[in-house]
Amino acid sequence: MKMMIHGNRLRQSFPFTILLGLFGLLSLTVNAQTDISKGIFAKGQLGPAENFTGKAWNTGLVPQDSTLTTLVGNVYFEPGARSNWHTHPAGQILIITDGAGYHQIQGQPRQKLKKGDVVSCPPDVPHWHGASEKTGMQQLYIVPNTEKGIVKWMQAVTDTEYQDKKK
Amino acid sequence: MKMMIHGNRLRQSFPFTILLGLFGLLSLTVNAQTDISKGIFAKGQLGPAENFTGKAWNTGLVPQDSTLTTLVGNVYFEPGARSNWHTHPAGQILIITDGAGYHQIQGQPRQKLKKGDVVSCPPDVPHWHGASEKTGMQQLYIVPNTEKGIVKWMQAVTDTEYQDKKK
């Protein structure tokens, strides 16, 4: 009798444990392949095509003002997306909070970026930044001393430049 | 015969599916209760007891310099930990990247903070920030215009102030 009860319970709970098992595998998969597009901040607005190649989503976090004189925001670059070449009159700080990408200062090798990396770019030096080919990038930007200006946009980053084929 | 095979398979796979099921529940639990202490950046150094109540771990990300004039770093506040009251000669920006906590400007109500929140504190105004009682907080700080100074430390935040019992 006990065996029968056990058998019945086993059969009844079998689909449920299978379901839980699949859930376990699914959770593992989700953990391993985090969705980079779901960042800490709102996704924001699509950056204009004249300044970006591919899709870059910008959300402002601290607006320009005369007290803190510091502009802060977040950009999510979809895989393959990058900014045009550009300069900041007072420089820029980038903080990578998720994913992977690149930063390049004109005349220097392309630099790989990953979650936790921090970049300082000097004033008036042309640079570009963006996601890697296959993984997006979540990036906080800090523009200091905004009384000197914010950004001067330049030409697009070509595929050859992006892929760093000269190296 | 088919039924027997099915029965055997069922019995053999039962412990495995139970294990997978438990794994599923565990993964869900881990997802729901992320370890706030494991942030994007290095944990860094323990803040000195004369400036902090409880354990606050600081890691510098952008050092003070004369070009960007902007200091950036990350603090992980353990549950219950908070800064002393203090002022910044040029103000401060806080960006909460994980967990939960509080920020209070002197003379104003205590403000709750959670992942994704951004705080701007004006120059020379006493304030404090820290984790909630039960959940730690990961916080980026930006100190602009460091040529004006970084921080002036004041008295500790009492338990009464921390718990905001006057409200």
- Residue by residue, pLDDT tens for chain A (167 residues) are 343 434 444 455 556 555 655 655 555 554 445 799 999 999 999 999 999 999 999 999 999 999 999 999 999 999 999 999 999 999 999 999 999 999 999 999 999 999 999 999 999 999 999 999 999 999 999 999 999 999 999 999 999 999 987 65
Task: Tell whether B94 lies on the interface with A, counting CB pairs under 8 A.
Answer: no
Q: A12: part of which helix (H) or strand (E)?
A: helix A2-32
pLDDT value, residue A1:
36
Asked whether the beta carbons of residue B14 and residue A18 sit closer than 8 angstroms, the reply is no
The residue type found at B57 is W
- pLDDT value at residue B32: 47
Sign, CA torsion A104/A105/A109/A114: negative
The answer to whether residues A49 and A57 touch, using CB atoms and an 8 Å cutoff, is no
Which residue in the set B18, B24, B120 is minimally distant from A23, CB to CB?
B24
**What pLDDT is attached to residue A5?**
37
B32 touching chain A per CB within 8 A: no
Tell me the CA distances in angstroms from A150 to A72, A153, B36, B159, one per residue in order. Answer: 11, 10, 34, 43
B119 in contact with A at a CB cutoff of 8 Å?
no
pLDDT tens-digit map of B93-141: 999 999 999 999 999 999 999 999 999 999 999 999 999 999 999 999 9
Distance from CA of A40 to the nearest CA of B (A): 5
The helix (run of H) or strand (run of E) holding residue B25 is helix B2-32
How much of chain B exceeds pLDDT 70, in percent? Answer: 79
Distance CA A139, CA A131 (A): 9
pLDDT score of B166: 61
Is the ipTM of this structure higher than 0.95?
A: no
Q: Does residue A43 belong to the interface with chain B, where contact is any CB pair within 8 Å?
A: no
Compute the distance between CA of residue A36 and CA of residue B150 in angstroms, rounded to an integer: 34
Task: Please state, in angstroms and rounded to a whole number, the distance separating the CA atoms of residues A125 and A81.
Answer: 21
How close is the nearest chain A Cα to the Cα of B120, in Å? 8
At A13 the pLDDT is 58
Nearest 10 degrees: Cα torsion A79, A94, A122, A50: 40
The whole-model pTM stands at 0.82
Best of B68, B113, B141, B146 to substitute, by most chain A Cβ atoms within 10 angstroms, is B68
And the tokens for B61? 């990300």
Would the CB atoms of B95 and A27 count as touching at under 8 Å? no
Indicate the residue of B21, B97, B116 with minimum beta-carbon distance to A20: B21
Instruction: Check the CA dihedral A74-A164-A78-A154 and report its sign.
Output: positive
Considering CB atoms only, which of A31, A42, A142 is closest to B72? A142
- For residues A167 and A110, is the Cβ–Cβ distance under 8 A? yes
- What are φ and ψ of residue A67, in 5° steps? -95, -60
pLDDT of residue B122: 97
